[in-house]
Amino acid sequence: MSINSYKDLLIWQKGIDLAVDVYSLTGDFPEAERFALTSQIKRSASSIPANIAEGYGRQSTKSYSQFVKISRGSLFELETHLILAERLDYIVETELYNKIKDQITEEGKMINSFIKKLDDKQ
């Protein structure tokens, strides 16, 4: 399969899937958190594939690598926010939460591998 767009990248596709699941999970969070933790969680989740896409549009491998590293930072931020939400007992759907934790692990491995490939090209 040839890559004609960032949308062809499995790392971007899985990032979108993760973000969609995170949006579903936060639907049960307390209303008081709508503009606080819930908003932060959604922003960090959507930032993962967004930075992969933005980096794809850059003119250099070095710049692309930097955006994918930002994506990794957003992944860690998301994971941290979700741990906080769990400790605050905001997470109702434990099955979905467990799926998201697995997605975070998988996406992290894919991002690390992708960064290595990009950095090896430089």
Q: Spell out the domain ranges in the chain.
A: 29-121
Distances (CA, A) of 84 to 21, 41, 54: 17, 10, 29
100-113 pLDDT, tens digit each:
999 999 999 999 99
Give the per-residue pLDDT at 85: 96
Look up the CATH number of domain 29-121: 1.20.1440.60
Distance of CA 75 to the CA centre of its chain: 5
pTM greater than 0.85: yes
Residue 81 pLDDT > 90? yes
pLDDT (0 to 100) of residue 90: 96
pLDDT tens across 36-79, in order? Answer: 999 999 999 999 999 999 999 988 899 999 999 999 999 999 99
The answer to whether 2 touches 9, Cβ cutoff 8 Å, is no
What is the predicted pLDDT for the residue at 1? 58
Nearest residue to 104 via CA among 33, 32, 17:
17
